[in-house]
Amino acid sequence: DVKVTQSSRYLVKRTGEKVFLECVQDMDHENMFWYRQDPGLGLRLIYFSYDVKMKEKGDIPEGYSVSREKKERFSLILESASTNQTSMYLCASTTGTSLFFGPGTRLTVL
């Protein structure tokens, strides 16, 4: 069965902290994505990666960076967390047309 896991379901951080969100998939997928989900805005793409060490900006990359050192792992980094980054973060992977999503990490920045 397809599996995408995210390191935390809930996370609380303080303004200015560096935050790491980890995502791991066990399906040998080339493509991985990070979205954030906010009420009334749907899912917005932050960054995506087509291969190891490759990354491309999505629609809202400001304030974020990513790392993909291994095919199965895609990390989202908040360099200096701010309150407007309080959100649900969803990781997804695919090797074809359909995305498989992780359960999400609900991040609160105080």
Q: C-beta of 15: minimal distance to other proteins in Å?
A: 26
96 contributes a contact to other proteins by CB under 8 A: yes
Separation between Cα atoms, residue 20 and residue 41, nearest integer Å: 23
Amino acid at 9: R
Please identify which residue in 41, 70, 79, 80 interacts with other proteins, judged by CB under 8 A. 41
According to the binding rule CB under 8 A, does residue 95 interact with other proteins?
yes
Residue 25 in contact with other proteins, rule: CB under 8 A:
no
Continuous H helices in 1-110: none
Using the rule CB under 8 A, is 77 a contact of other proteins? Answer: no
Q: Determine how β-strand 19-25 pairs with β-strand 73-78.
A: antiparallel
Closest CA to 79 of 94, 64, 62, 67: 64
Which residues would be at the binding site for other proteins (CB under 8 A)? 4, 30-31, 33, 35, 40-45, 48, 50, 58, 90, 92, 94-99, 101-104
